[in-house]
Amino acid sequence: MEYIGKLYGRIGNKHFDTGYTAKEWDELTKQVETLKKQLNKEQKLLVDIVSHCPLCDSDNLHQYKLHHIHCKDCKEDFNKSCG
């Protein structure tokens, strides 16, 4: 962003101060991009971790809810995040 100074938003014909300068806004945007990349990496990591059962190495897994995996071979349940 070339503009340096405070940023203002507009609702209808009313203007308001966003509380950010253009420089701060650029930095925030960069931070969001970095966080998104990190998140993508972590999600990929989770998928890698759960492609096989950590106990019996079976790929006969059933995922339920968001973070829970059930292995159909050894009948163990485990949590994605603790692998």
Binding site for Zn ion (CB under 5 A): 53, 55-56, 58, 71, 73-74
* Least distance (Å) between residue 78 CB and Zn ion: 9
Closer CB to Zn ion, 42 or 77, in the complex: 77
Q: How far is the CB of 52 from Zn ion (least distance, A)?
A: 8
Query: Shortest approach of Zn ion to residue 63 CB, angstroms?
Result: 13
Nearer to Zn ion, 50 or 71 (CB): 71
For 24-62, letters b (16+ CB in 10 Å) and e give: eeeeeeeeeeeeeeeeeeeeeeeeeebeebeeeeeeeee
- Angle (CA) 21 25 26, round 5°: 120
